[in-house]
Amino acid sequence: MVRKVKLAVFASGTGTNFQALNDAILQRNLNAEIVRLIVDKSTAGALNLAKLFGIPATAIKYSNYETKIEAEQVIINQLKTDQVDGILLAGYMRILTPKLIDAYSGKIINLHPAMLPKFPGRHSILDAFEAGVSETGVTVHFVDNGIDTGEIIAQEAVPILVNDTIDLLETRIHNVEHVLYPNTLAKLIDEGVFLK
């Protein structure tokens, strides 16, 4: 039998996608396990979930390091210790440097709340809402050295309705994320992407 894929999840917020991914691994009996949560703030709600799930967590305070690369080296060292095969970004609000990207080349996956290449960047839901377009969506993609420019793996459209508020749209996008990301992860595990 193929060994279990060891994954690290990076998050900055409440951790709803971290939960969706962990639930999918357990409920679908995927050949993977989340062995580490990395957060960039000690107040991230995802830390509470990690405790609940019994998953080791590391909070990296970037301001404690002279450079972003130094902070990422600490992360890389931890991931190597954990024998991590792949990284799942789940609302991690930092741009990774080439150092970390190269260390896990082709094995870092990001979830973005828009239909890339449209609306890249940090405020994509608001950008789409204010642009007056009829739809936006969710993209799962590989991470490269650009900002939201990596190869697209999966996408799903989310309509912007006439009476929408930004909060209603955000809720519908998150609902799609919580299905699309786990489904895509299952496919990538099945294809052996993280063990290549």
Beta carbons within 8 Å of 76's beta carbon, 6+ residues apart: 99, 100, 103
> Is 61 annotated as a binding-site member?
no
Identified catalytic residue from 112, 123, 174, 178: 112
Q: Check the annotation: does 122 bind a ligand.
A: no
Active site residue 112: yes
Is 94 labelled a binding residue? yes
Tell whether 43 is in a known binding site: no
Query: Is 95 part of any known ligand binding site?
Result: yes
Task: Tell me the CA distances in angstroms from 123 to 14, 91, 126, 128, 131, one per residue in order.
Answer: 17, 12, 6, 9, 12
Is 36 a known ligand-binding residue? no
**CA end-to-end span of the chain, whole Å?**
16
Tell me if 192 is assigned to a ligand binding site. Answer: no
In three state form, how does the secondary structure of 158-179 look? Answer: EECCCCCCHHHHHHHHHHHHHH
For the annotated catalytic residues, the residue numbers are: 112
Binding positions for (6R)-10-formyltetrahydrofolate: 68, 93-96, 110
Binding positions: 15-17, 68, 93-96, 110
